[in-house]
Amino acid sequence: MSSPDTLSAGMRSLRYVDALREAVAQEMRRDPDVFCFGLDVDDHRAIQGSTQGLLDEFGPDRCFTTPLSEDAMTGVAIGAAMAGMRPIHVHIRMDFLMLCMNQLVNMAAKAHYMYGGSVKVPMVVRSMIGKSWGQGAQHSQGLHAMFMHVPGLKVVAPSNAYDAKGCMIAAIRDDNPVIFMEHRLLYPIEAPVPEEPFMVPFGRARHMRRGDDITIVGISNMAVECLRAASLLEEVGLSVDLIDPVSLVPLDMETIVASVARTRRLLVVDNAWVSAGAGAEIAAQVAEQLGGGGPLAIRRMGFAPTTCPTTPALEAHFYPNPLTIAKAAHALAGGAGGWEPDPERARLAYQQAFKGPF
């Protein structure tokens, strides 16, 4: 598998948001059955630019806004998909998926099975996770765990522009409903991305860094935050095996288990609540497969077990960050207590990564 780290022929540095846009545009060119709809996809803001140009190139039949009716619009996507089209339904916030849970869980996930294989539901549900600047309770949730729970849905969470493009193309070509989660703060981050269409296959985790002391799994934007944490840990001599699962369903447990089999230490960092979350699933599978073989150090991090507050004074403590991740990993690896990475250096590393607003 090629990777987002190295710039080779036919690649340019592309922002995450542009990678998404390019993937959709290329697929719409290739396949007239692909269309893109959802609130505000066709306005001048174009979902932060991620649908820019689609209306001009493909016209209002293939790129259109909807009434504020998320539930029915999800049903519409399902019906169109059953008829052989390939809808991409866009939500500007993952929180709004709660309005269409019935269609997603009771229809999309189940149709292929409960109709005995006689229909397919090839649709992509795009949604963005918001963070910071007072997004607050209802504009900040990462709810992927709910979708991981229900058989029949695929769930993808690319953390870089390369995977964003490759996963989007794979999602559009997939014959199943795919919950495609994006993170608002990743949108401006660049990575080398091939110009040609390509697929990042689901179910293959990406090794972002190789190391021997501790396995860290970082989900969605947390993969990026873990990368910064890993560089802080390097300074105290801890080498991190950093894994980005890329897709959560299917989930590449093989790569994760093989890593923890070596390190016997696992830290999962999620951009979501911990309880019954993606981290719980990963930790449980690791424990099931490796627990019999001797001591195993496991820890999960994620949102604080609270609603997300708007005030930055509290929000700062709501999310894991490179500092708290590094410290947790250090402790898990048996590091001597009291290590305090220089917060300035942690913040610096962090800001270098995110050029976007906070």
Partner 1 sequence: MDSPALKSPETLVRLYRSLYLVRRVEERVAEIYPTDRIKSPVHLSIGQEAIAVGICDLLRADDIVSGTYRGHATYLAKGGDPKAMLAEMFGKVGGCARGKGGSMHLVGLEQGILGCSAVVGTNVPVAAGYALALKRRGRGQVAAVFYGDGASEEGCVYETLNFAALHKLPILFICENNFFAIHEPLHRRWAADQLTERVATFGMPARRITSGDIFEIRDAASGLIDAMRDGGGPAFLECHTYRWREHVGPAEDYAAGYRARTDMEEWERRDQVARLAAMLPEAERRQIEAEIEAEVEAAVAYAEASPFPAAEELHAHVFA
Ligand X SMILES: Cc1ncc(C[n+]2csc(CCOP(=O)(O)OP(=O)(O)O)c2C)c(N)n1
Nearest to 19 by CA among 123, 167, 124, 205: 167
- The mark string for 88-127 relative to ligand X (x by CB under 6 A, - otherwise) is ----x---x--x----------------------------
**Centroid of chain to Cα 216:** 16
Q: Which is nearer to partner 1, 6 or 102 (CB)?
A: 102
Pairing of strands 63-64, 206-209: unpaired
Q: Which is nearer to ligand X, 11 or 99 (CB)?
A: 99
Distance, in Å, from the CA atom of 17 to the CA atom of 189, rounded to the nearest integer, reads 8
Cβ of residue 271: shortest distance to its own copies, in angstroms? 13
The CA distances from residue 230 to 185, 320, 323, in Å, are: 20, 14, 10
**45 is a contact residue toward partner 1 (CB under 8 A):** yes
- Please list every residue from 52 through 71 that binds partner 1, using CB under 8 A: 61, 64-71
Task: Tell me which of ligand X, partner 1, its own copies, none is bound by residue 162, counting a contact when its beta carbon lies within the kind-specific cut-off of 5 to 8 angstroms.
Answer: none
Cβ(349)–Cβ(322) below 8 Å: yes
**Centroid of chain to Cα 243:** 13
- The mark string for 75-114 relative to its own copies (x by CB under 8 A, - otherwise) is --------------------x--xx-xx-xxx--xx--xx
Distance, in Å, from the CA atom of 147 to the CA atom of 339, rounded to the nearest integer, reads 37
Say whether 330 is catalytic. no
Name the catalytic one among 112, 139, 144, 183.
139
Centre a 10 Å sphere on the Cβ of residue 33 and count the other Cβ atoms it contains: 17
Amino acid at 224: V
Q: Which of 17, 25, 39, 100 binds ligand X (CB under 6 A)?
A: 39
The CA distances from residue 324 to 93, 331, 333, in Å, are: 26, 11, 14
Per CB under 8 A, the segment of 23-31, 289-297, 308-316, 342-350 that binds partner 1 is: 308-316
Distance, in Å, from the CA atom of 297 to the CA atom of 266, rounded to the nearest integer, reads 6
Element (H, E) at 301: strand 297-301
Q: Which is nearer to ligand X, 146 or 170 (CB)?
A: 146
Nearest to 302 by CA among 278, 327, 326, 284: 278
Collect all residues with Cβ–Cβ distance below 8 Å to 146 and sequence separation of at least 6.
101
Cβ of residue 99: shortest distance to ligand X, in angstroms? 6
Q: Which of 167, 186, 298, 333 binds its own copies (CB under 8 A)?
A: 298
Q: Which is nearer to ligand X, 12 or 45 (CB)?
A: 45
Q: Which is nearer to partner 1, 231 or 324 (CB)?
A: 324
- Please list every residue from 213 through 242 that binds ligand X, using CB under 6 A: none
Q: Which of 6, 7, 57, 134 binds partner 1 (CB under 8 A)?
A: 134
For the chain, what's the residue count? 358
Cβ of residue 70: shortest distance to partner 1, in angstroms? 8
Residues found near ligand X in the complex (CB under 6 A) = 39, 68, 70, 92, 96, 99
Q: What residues are labeled active site?
A: 70, 139
